[in-house]
Structure 1
Amino acid sequence: MGWRQRVTSTQPGEPAGALESPEAATPPEHRWGFGAFLVVEAVLLASAAFVSVLLGPAPPGRPTPVSDVLIGTITPTVLAALVAVLITLWRGNGPRIDLRLEWRWADIRMGLKLGALGLVLTTISAFIWTQAVGESNATSAIGALVEDQPMSLTAAIIMFIYLAVLGPVCEEIIYRGLLWGAVERLPWGGERWTRVAAFLLSTAVFAVSHLEPLRTTLLLVIAIPIGLARLFTGRLPAAIVAHQMNNFLPAVALLLTTLGVTTL
């Protein structure tokens, strides 16, 4: 899990700190589990539903207001991620320990590698999936938001930043952070099998929670390299980087579409 404890050498002639204990130091146990994840999911879904009713449909042919982009698309996910962080502060040891938010260059490199792999897999899978369901059914929820609804430049840039940077951070906190930590807390099968279970469950829930039934299979493919980054490193930043890489090209495509440069 990356929690290793250094000990100082007591042998003459050996540099201090040269030995590393073969036993992993156990992180402090948090006092939250699946209930915390269910609360966060409820916040996500309830806030999205409330905002959708509050804003209503945008008039056709008019640019989507920046406020609608911020409130309708970004706010529910950001709010849910903030609630997840607050739960770790209230019932645990804070996000750095409970969600494994320790930044290491090795994790970033792993995230970049698996993110690149994810881009290849996603491109191939998206092509096959589009051929299977047809072009008319291939639009994602966010793609549907901007389809035939040109955004202002400011709104398009905000959407790009959310998709490529902020959104992956928030989603990883929820699924490969909070949900993963809830699974790891269960006393079954030893550490290795618990981590595998966390990988499988978080991958499946991530895909289903987008509430896009036709795209669930594609979302599963997208989620696998991201989950592997979390599994291999034992920390969240690698998954965040992999997720950001996976979202980058679709975010660019969406930006160009909203600006009228190309079409989805």
Structure 2
Amino acid sequence: MRSSDAQDPAGDAVDSGVPARQEQDASGQPGLHRPTHRWGFGAFLFVEGVLLATAAFVGAFLGRTTPESIPVRDVLIGTMTPTVLAALAALAVTKIRGNGPLADLCLAWRWDDVKVGLKFGALGLVFTVVGVLVWTRVVGEHNATSAIGALVEDKPMSVSAAVTMFVYLWLLGPICEEIIYRGLLWGAAERLGWGTERWGRFAAFVLSTAVFAMSHLEPLRTSLLIVIAIPIGLARLVTGRLLGSIVAHQMNNFLPALAILLTSLGVIAA
């Protein structure tokens, strides 16, 4: 039977008409052959377009031109809405053009992946601290501030707004970004089939790391973002699944998110 054939419950071969791949069951053992997804780079470009168009629309709708004039509510809307909508669009693509997000984006709950994510997250914290220290010395403290940090700088927040920003930066934002870049983009790169399977995964790691850094639209900080993103991508590369990179990303974002929370509440000086 061809690899693109599957077995129906009666045991007869059914030609899916698309390439197949071998999935793993919950124990990590090879399982059934499932058809690969039918989406590729076009799907990623569509989702990236959703992100950029939403950001442009929200910016035009809010109608503020300088960071100082943007109220906290608008900062929250402008920060969260584009990424969340883009991640939802990515999930919809896998449902409409593939086998759903669990299969297509390699989403599965495994404690081993959590442990790997925590290890690479800890490595990422080291990379982040060292990278920020070096980068600050090179470009100056003001230029090293992230876009979101500049937006909330010197803006007192209510407790609810500060906690909402903290939860988004620490937990929800990383999930959305991982779905887009090390989920959808990674899957598109692997589907292209560059050389061997191992080379395809490495190419997906390099491409997703670079695009992730550039997609933040902070040209001055792109090289720093690449350094920060490397351990996150390695978690995806090592486990072969998305949970590891999500955990690594969340761990990497915890300290910056906590700093913004404490600064916004006036607990520590800006």
TM-score by length of 1: 0.88
In structure 2, the partner of 1:42 is 49
Aligned equivalent of 1:55, options 45, 57, 62: 62
Aligned equivalent of 1:29, options 36, 41, 48: 36
Distance 2:101 2:81 in 1: 20
**Superposed CA offset, 1:75-94 (max 9, x none):** 10000000000000000000
**Percent of pairs identical after alignment?**
67
In structure 2, the partner of 1:185 is 191
Give the drift of 1:218. Answer: 0.8
Runs of at least 4 residues of structure 1 off by over 6 A? 58-63
Distance 1:252 1:110 in 2: 23
Are residue 3 (structure 1) and residue 9 (structure 2) matched?
no
Distance 2:243 2:85 in 1: 20
Give the drift of 1:100. Answer: 0.3
Q: 1:80 to 1:51 in 2, by over 3 A?
A: same
- Describe how 1:1-264 pairs up with structure 2 within 5 A: 3-4=23-24, 26-57=33-64, 64-66=71-73, 68-264=74-270
**Superposed CA offset, 1:219-262 (max 9, x none):** 00110000000000000000000000000000000001111122
Distance 1:95 1:137 in 2: 38
Q: One-letter code of the match for 2:152?
A: V
Q: 1:125 to 1:61 in 2, by over 3 A?
A: closer
**Superposed CA offset, 1:1-53 (max 9, x none):** 993469xxxxxxxxxx9xx66xx754421110000000000000110111112
Structure 2 segments unaligned to the other structure (5+ residues): 1-20
Give the drift of 1:60. Answer: 8.4
Distance 1:215 1:163 in 2: 18
**Superposed CA offset, 1:143-165 (max 9, x none):** 01111222221111100000000
Q: 1:160 to 1:191 in 2, by over 3 A?
A: same
State whether residues 47 and 90 of structure 2, in contact with CA within 8 Å, keep that contact through their aligned partners in structure 1: yes
What is the SS of the residue equivalent to 2:194? coil
**Superposed CA offset, 1:178-224 (max 9, x none):** 00000010122111000000000000000000000111111001100
What is the SS of the residue equivalent to 1:185? helix
State whether residues 117 and 225 of structure 1, in contact with CA within 8 Å, keep that contact through their aligned partners in structure 2: yes
Give the drift of 1:62. Answer: 8.5
Give the drift of 1:56. Answer: 2.6
In structure 2, the partner of 1:14 is none
State whether residues 91 and 101 of structure 2, in contact with CA within 8 Å, keep that contact through their aligned partners in structure 1: yes
Q: Which moved more, 1:104-113 or 1:139-148?
A: 139-148
Q: One-letter code of the match for 1:131?
A: R
Say what the alpha-carbon RMSD is for the aligned residues. 2.2
In structure 2, the partner of 1:10 is none
Give the drift of 1:65. Answer: 4.1
Distance 1:65 1:148 in 2: 11
State whether residues 116 and 246 of structure 1, in contact with CA within 8 Å, keep that contact through their aligned partners in structure 2: yes
State whether residues 230 and 239 of structure 1, in contact with CA within 8 Å, keep that contact through their aligned partners in structure 2: yes
Distance 1:135 1:243 in 2: 24
Query: Which one scores higher on RCO, CA 8 angstroms, separation ≥ 6?
Result: 1
Distance 1:231 1:63 in 2: 39
What is the SS of the residue equivalent to 1:3? strand
Give the drift of 1:121. Answer: 1.0
Q: One-letter code of the match for 2:113?
A: D
Q: 1:242 to 1:221 in 2, by over 3 A?
A: same
Q: Figure out how many residues of one structure are paired with residues of the other and give that number.
A: 249
Distance 1:143 1:223 in 2: 18
State whether residues 51 and 72 of structure 1, in contact with CA within 8 Å, keep that contact through their aligned partners in structure 2: yes
